[in-house]
C-alpha cells in the first residue's frame, strides 16, 4: 500500500532547487546567446541591471494576474487596466495636485476597481471570463480616452521616482511580499488553489467561490494598478488608445504568469514570474541590440517563449493538457 | 436520554422528472454502524448527500440529537457534527496535506487575517501520527500521494473533530485489504466512542460483518431496517431486488475445456515502475482473471494490452500477427477496454448516453456521404442501451445523471455495439449493486460461450474465482502465480500468492 508513497519534505526542497537552477540557466542561456551575437552593445552588468528593472514592471502585474489564472479564469483587459490606471494615477498626481499619494492610491484604487468590475460582471453574467474582460476592455479604453482628453498624459519629472532605482525595486519588492504573504499566509491563497483544483469540491467545503473569484480579480487589478505606477514612472507618459490597441500590453505580464503556472509544481510561482519576466526582457533587449526588425523580433520572441515553456513545463505522461 | 442519534423523517429529493428519494423515514442509533444498502440508483448517496450538505434537502427533515439540521454545505454539516468520506477522490490537488485536512476550517489557525501555516502543519502532523499515518507528511503536497493514501487522509479529515455521524460512502472498493482494515479500525473506534457510522457498501459480506443494523432502499423508497445478526446475504439480496435472486450468480460450470486457439499473446511486457516482464496467452472463449493487491500492477496490465501504457516494452500480438502498440490499433483489432476509473477514463460525463455508446463505432455509422445522421446514431445507441437494460429516460440523457451501475452498462453497451472479440474489463463490477453485477456476470458468460475472450482484472477475489477459467496473480509488478478453475479454489489459495 505504501510502496508508492514518495512525499518527503526534502524532495520538495530538491524540486525548488531544481526550479531555481532551470531559471538561472535560462537567464544565463538567453544572455549568452545575445552576448555572443552582439558583444559590443548588449549584456554588460549595467545593461543587465537595467533589463532587470524593466522586467519588474510586468512582474508586478503578473503576480496579481496569477491569482486569476490559477483559478482557471483569464483576463483580456490587463492592458486596458494598466492604461486606465496609469492615466488616473497621473491625473490625480498632477492635475489634482495630490503628488505621489495621488499617483499610487489613484492607480491602485483604479486598478482594483477595474478588477472588481471584471469579477462582478463575470460572476453575475455567468459567461466566460475571457469574453467578459474582452468586452469590458473596450469600455475601459474609452474611459481612459475620456479621462486623458485625447492627449498623452505626462507625469511630471519630480514625480518619477518609481521609474528608477531604488524606488522601483522597493515598490516591486513590496508587491512581491504582499503577493507571497497572500498566497502563503492567508485563506485567500489556500482557496485560490482549492477553487482552481476543483470548484465543486471547494463549494462543498463551504468556500464562497464567487466571492473569492471576485477577490482574485480585485487583487489582480490592484497589482496591475501598481504596475501602472511603475509603467508611467518608467516611460513618463501614457497615451490612451482605443479599438483594443491596449491588448498589446497584455502579452508580457501574461507570459510571466505562464512562467508562474509552469513552475507552480516546484513551489515557487512568484519567484519564477520575476525570473520569467527577466528572461523575456533579455530577449527583447537582445533583439534591440541586434537591430532586428520588429516583425522578426516578435516571431523569434514568440517562438523562444513557446520553447522555454515547453522545456520547463514537466507534464506527466498521460496528463491531459488543455 | 434517547438512544436515537439521527431521525430521518419523510425525506425526498427529485432531479427533474426523476424521484431519487421518496418519503424516506428511519432512525439511526447512537454507537452503531448503520449500513445503507440498495441497488445502484436506489437513493443511498442522494440521501446521505442531503444529510451532509452536498445536495439541498428536497423535502422532509433530518433531526440530529433532537435538533433539526439543514446544512447548506459540508462545512456546515461538519459544524453540526456530521461528516462524509466520499466514494471518489475527495481531496484537492495543489494544496498540502494539512490544507486539505483543514479546508473550510482554516479559521482555527488564522489570527488577524494571517494563517499560521506552521501551527496548521503541526496539528495535522499530530493527527496523522495519532491515526497511525505518521509517514504522511502534513506539509507535503497532496499530489505526492497515491489514491489510497489520499483516502486515508480523507479519513483523518472526516473524523478528527469527533463528529456524531460519519457517512462512509462506498469507500472500501477504492482501498486494498490493508486500507480497508485501517478504515474498519476507525469505524470501530467511532462506534466505541458512542458515535455513529452510516456505512454504504455493495459488498454484502462486508456489510454483514461490519454493521450492527442495515437499512435497505429500493428505487428511492425505504424498504426495511434489519439487524445484521438476524439476516443472511440472501435475505438482503431479496430485500434489495424485491424478489429472490437466483442462485446462478457466478458461472456454474467447472469441467469445460478451454480452446487451444490463442487469440492474444503477451511476451515480456514491462512498463517502468509498474509491471515487469509479464507474459501470458489468452485463448478463444476464455475468461482470464488478474488478481492481486491494488498496487500489484494488475491494473497496468489491462492498459498495456490496450496500448494505453507509456514507455511499454515487450510485445502484445494478436493471432493474425498484428502487434498492439497503441489504442487506435487495439480498437481496430477488436479489442475493448473498460477502465477501473469509470468516471474519469471510461465515460464522457457531460455527453448523452447515445453519444457515449456510439463513440468507438462512428466510422461504421457514417452514411454514403460520410456523414453522421442523428437517426442512425439514435437507433444504434437505443439498440445496445436496451440490450444492456440501461435505466434511463432516453439516450439523450447525460451520463452524469446515471448511477454507477448504469454508467458501467453504458460502457459495456459501447463495446458490445462494436462487437469486440477481446474484452479487457478492469474492475467491471466496482461500486455496482448485486443485480447489475449479476447482469454483468451473465453477459460475460454469454460472451465467453459465443467465442469472445475476456480478461477480467479485479480486486474481488470471489468474482475471479466464480467467473474465470484461469487466474493470474500479480505481486510487486510481476506474475507471482497462476491457478486454474476448480471447485476447490478458495480465497486463501489466491491470497497466499498475493502477499
Q: Is residue A185 predicted with pLDDT exceeding 90?
A: no
How much is the pLDDT for B17? 65
**Considering the domain boundaries, does residue B432 fall inside one?**
yes
Contact residues, chain A, for B148 at CB < 8 Å? 1
Q: Give yes or no for residue A264 having a pLDDT over 80.
A: yes
My answer on whether B216 and B153 are in the same domain is: yes
Look at residue A12 in the predicted model and tell me its pLDDT.
47
Indicate yes or no: CB of A193 within 8 angstroms of CB of B92.
yes
List alpha helices for B327-400, DSSP H. 327-332, 353-358, 362-365, 374-387
* Predicted pLDDT of residue A1: 37
Which pLDDT value is given to residue A56?
93
Domain range for A46:
15-312
Q: Is the pLDDT of residue B408 over 50?
A: yes
B298 part of a folded domain: yes
ipTM over the 0.85 cut-off? no
Residue A39 lies in a domain: yes
Q: What's the confidence (pLDDT) of residue A13? A: 53
pLDDT digit string (tens) for B443-464? 999 999 999 999 999 988 888 9
Tell me, yes or no, whether A268 lies in a domain: yes
- Chain A CB contacts of B294 under 8 Å are 1
Let me know whether B191 and B289 are in one domain: no
Region A98-127 average pLDDT: 94
Q: How confident is the model at residue A313 (pLDDT cuts 50, 70, 90)?
A: low
pLDDT of residue B1 exceeding 90: no
The closest of A240, A242, A233, A246 to A93, measured between CA atoms, is A233
Mention every residue, 6+ apart, whose C-beta is less than 8 A from residue B355: B348, B377, B381
Instruction: Based on the fold, state whether residues B229 and B271 are members of the same structural domain.
Output: no
Cα Rg, chain B, nearest whole Å: 24
B171 found inside a domain: yes
Do B12 and B140 belong to one domain? Answer: yes
Say if residue B116 is in the same domain as residue B226: yes
Domain count, chain A: 1
Q: Does A320 touch chain B (CB under 8 A)?
A: no
pLDDT of residue A311: 66
Residues B302 and B159 reside in one and the same domain: no
Domain count, chain B: 2
CATH number of B473's domain:
3.40.50.300
Max distance between CA atoms of chain A, in angstroms, equals: 69
Query: Does residue B317 share a domain with residue B186?
Result: no
- In a shared domain, residues B402 and B347: yes
pLDDT band at A232 (very low <50, low <70, confident <90, very high): very high
Taking residues B332-342, report their average pLDDT. Answer: 90
The whole-number pLDDT of residue A289 equals 87
> Which class for B473: exposed (0-12), middle (13-18), buried (19 or more C-beta within 10 A)?
buried
Question: Phi then psi for B94, rounded to 5 degrees?
Answer: 85, -5
CA distance A64 to chain B (A): 18
The per-residue pLDDT of chain B, averaged, comes to: 89
Is pLDDT above 80 for B432?
Answer: no
Cell numbers for B176: 486494498
Residue B309 lies in a domain: yes
CATH number of the domain bearing residue A30:
1.10.3470
Last residue of a domain, one of B212, B241, B270: B241
Q: Which of A9, A184, A190 sits opposite B95 (nearest CB)?
A: A190
Domain of B122 in residue numbering reads as 4-241
Beta bridge partners of B222: B217
**Final residue of a domain: which of B187, B212, B241?**
B241
Give A185's contacts in chain B (Cβ within 8 Å): 114-115, 117
pLDDT digits (tens, 9 = 90+) for B273-327: 899 999 999 999 999 999 987 778 999 999 999 998 888 999 999 999 999 999 8
Residue B297 and residue B148 share a domain: no
Q: What's the whole-model pTM score? A: 0.70
pLDDT at A55 over 90: yes
- Give the pLDDT of residue A5: 40
- B293:A201 CB<8 A: no
How many beta carbons lie within 10 A of that of residue B58, not counting itself? 16
Distance of alpha carbon A158 from alpha carbon A272, whole angstroms: 33
Same structural domain, B283 and B320:
yes
Of B149, B294, B311, the CB nearest to A5: B149
Q: What is the pLDDT, as a whole number, of residue A314?
A: 59
Are B226 and B287 members of one domain?
Answer: no
CA angle at B136 for the pair B133 and B139, rounded to the nearest 5° = 135
> Taking CB atoms and an 8 Å limit, are A190 and B74 in contact across chains?
no
Residue B98 lies in a domain: yes
CA of B344: which chain A residue's CA is closest? A320
B231 and B282 assigned to the same domain: no
Per-residue pLDDT reduced to its tens digit, A13-38: 567 888 889 999 999 999 999 999 88
| Chain position carrying cell 521616482 | A161
pLDDT of A8 reads 44
**Pick the residue with more confidence: B292 or B60?**
B60
A152-172 pLDDT tens trace: 889 988 889 998 889 999 999
Amino acid at each position: 500500500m505504501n510502496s508508492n508513497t514518495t512525499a518527503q519534505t526534502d524532495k520538495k526542497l530538491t524540486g525548488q532547487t531544481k526550479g531555481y537552477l532551470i531559471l538561472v540557466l535560462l537567464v544565463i542561456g538567453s544572455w549568452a546567446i545575445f552576448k555572443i551575437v552582439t558583444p559590443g552593445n548588449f549584456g554588460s552588468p549595467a545593461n543587465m541591471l537595467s533589463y532587470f528593472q524593466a522586467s519588474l514592471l510586468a512582474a508586478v502585474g503578473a503576480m496579481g494576474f496569477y491569482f486569476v489564472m490559477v483559478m482557471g479564469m483569464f483576463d483580456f483587459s490587463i492592458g486596458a487596466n494598466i492604461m486606465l490606471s496609469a492615466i488616473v494615477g497621473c491625473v490625480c498626481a498632477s492635475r489634482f495636485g495630490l503628488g505621489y499619494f495621488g499617483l499610487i492610491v489613484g492607480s491602485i484604487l483604479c486598478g482594483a476597481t477595474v478588477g472588481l468590475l471584471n469579477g462582478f460582471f463575470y460572476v453575475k453574467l455567468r459567461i466566460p471570463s475571457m469574453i467578459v474582460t474582452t468586452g469590458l476592455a473596450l469600455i475601459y479604453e474609452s474611459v481612459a480616452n475620456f479621462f486623458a482628453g485625447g492627449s498623452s498624459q505626462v507625469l511630471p519629472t519630480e514625480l518619477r521616482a518609481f521609474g528608477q532605482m531604488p524606488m522601483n525595486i522597493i515598490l516591486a519588492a513590496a508587491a512581491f511580499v504582499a503577493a507571497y504573504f497572500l498566497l502563503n499566509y492567508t485563506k485567500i491563497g489556500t482557496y485560490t488553489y482549492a477553487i482552481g483544483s476543483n470548484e465543486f469540491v471547494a463549494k462543498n467545503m463551504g468556500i464562497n467561490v464567487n466571492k473569492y473569484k471576485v477577490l482574485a480579480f480585485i487583487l489582480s487589478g490592484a497589482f496591475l494598478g501598481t504596475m501602472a505606477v511603475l509603467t508611467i514612472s518608467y516611460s513618463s507618459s501614457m497615451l490612451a488608445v482605443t479599438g483594443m490597441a491596449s491588448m498589446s500590453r497584455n502579452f508580457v505580464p501574461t507570459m510571466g504568469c505562464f512562467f508562474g503556472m509552469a513552475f507552480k509544481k516546484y513551489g515557487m510561482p512568484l519567484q519564477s514570474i520575476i525570473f520569467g519576466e527577466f528572461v523575456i526582457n533579455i530577449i527583447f533587449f537582445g533583439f534591440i541590440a541586434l537591430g532586428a526588425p520588429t516583425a522578426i523580433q516578435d516571431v523569434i520572441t514568440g517562438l523562444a517563449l513557446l520553447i522555454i515553456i515547453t522545456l520547463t513545463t514537466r507534464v506527466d505522461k498521460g496528463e491531459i493538457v488543455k | 436520554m434517547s438512544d436515537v442519534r439521527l431521525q430521518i423523517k419523510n425525506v425526498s429529493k427529485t432531479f427533474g422528472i426523476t424521484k431519487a428519494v421518496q418519503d424516506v423515514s428511519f432512525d439511526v442509533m447512537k454507537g452503531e454502524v448503520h449500513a445503507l444498502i440498495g441497488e445502484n440508483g436506489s437513493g443511498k448517496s442522494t440521501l446521505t448527500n442531503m444529510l451532509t450538505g452536498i445536495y439541498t434537502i428536497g423535502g422532509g427533515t433530518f433531526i440530529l440529537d433532537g435538533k433539526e439540521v439543514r446544512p447548506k454545505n459540508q462545512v456546515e454539516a461538519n459544524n453540526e457534527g456530521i461528516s462524509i468520506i466520499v466514494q471518489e477522490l475527495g481531496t484537492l490537488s495543489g494544496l498540502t496535506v494539512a490544507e486539505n485536512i483543514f479546508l473550510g476550517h482554516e479559521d482555527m489557525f488564522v489570527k488577524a487575517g494571517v494563517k499560521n501555516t506552521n501551527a496548521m502543519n503541526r496539528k495535522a502532523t499530530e493527527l496523522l501520527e495519532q491515526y497511525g499515518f505518521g509517514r504522511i507528511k502534513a506539509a507535503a503536497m497532496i499530489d505526492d500521494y497515491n489514491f489510497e493514501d489520499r483516502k486515508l487522509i480523507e479519513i483523518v479529515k472526516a473524523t478528527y473533530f469527533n463528529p456524531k455521524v460519519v457517512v462512509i460512502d462506498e469507500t472500501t472498493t477504492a482501498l486494498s485489504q490493508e486500507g480497508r482494515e485501517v478504515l474498519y479500525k476507525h469505524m470501530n473506534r467511532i462506534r466505541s466512542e458512542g458515535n455513529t457510522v452510516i456505512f454504504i457498501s455493495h459488498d454484502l459480506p462486508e456489510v454483514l460483518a461490519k454493521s450492527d443494523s442495515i437499512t435497505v432502499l429500493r428505487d428511492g423508497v425505504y424498504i426495511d431496517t434489519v439487524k445484521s445478526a438476524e439476516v443472511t446475504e440472501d435475505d438482503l439480496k431479496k430485500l434489495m431486488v424485491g424478489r429472490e435472486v437466483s442462485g446462478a450468480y457466478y458461472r456454474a460450470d467447472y469441467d469445460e475445456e478451454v480452446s487451444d486457439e490463442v487469440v492474444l499473446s503477451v511476451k515480456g511486457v514491462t512498463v517502468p515502475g509498474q509491471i515487469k516482464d509479464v507474459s501470458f496467452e489468452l485463448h478463444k472463449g476464455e475468461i482470464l482473471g488478474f488478481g492481486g493487491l491494488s498496487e500489484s500492477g494488475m491494473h497496468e496490465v489491462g492498459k498495456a494490452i490496450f496500448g494505453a501504457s507509456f514507455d511499454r516494452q515487450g510485445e502484445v500480438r494478436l493471432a493474425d500477427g498484428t502487434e498492439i502498440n497503441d489504442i487506435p490499433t487495439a480498437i481496430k483489432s477488436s479489442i475493448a477496454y473498460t477502465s477501473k476509473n469509470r468516471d474519469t477514463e471510461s465515460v464522457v460525463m457531460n455527453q448523452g448516453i447515445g453519444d457515449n455508446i456510439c463513440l468507438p463505432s462512428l466510422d461504421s455509422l457514417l452514411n454514403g456521404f460520410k456523414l453522421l445522421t442523428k437517426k442512425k446514431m439514435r437507433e444504434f445507441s437505443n439498440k445496445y442501451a436496451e440490450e444492456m437494460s440501461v435505466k434511463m429516460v432516453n439516450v439523450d440523457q447525460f451520463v452524469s445523471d446515471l448511477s454507477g451501475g448504469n454508467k458501467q452498462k453504458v460502457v459495456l453497451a459501447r463495446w458490445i455495439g462494436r462487437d469486440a472479440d477481446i474484452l479487457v474489463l478492469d474492475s467491471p463490477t466496482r461500486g455496482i449493486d448485486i443485480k447489475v453485477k449479476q447482469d454483468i456476470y451473465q453477459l460475460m458468460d454469454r460472451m465467453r460461450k459465443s467465442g469472445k475472450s475476456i480478461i477480467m482484472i479485479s480486486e474481488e477475489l470471489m468474482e475471479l474465482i466464480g467467473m474465470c477459467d484461469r487466474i493470474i496473480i500479480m505481486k510487486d509488478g510481476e506474475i507471482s502465480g497462476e491457478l486454474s478453475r476448480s471447485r476447490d479454489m478458495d480465497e486463501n489459495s489466491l491470497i497466499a500468492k498475493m502477499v
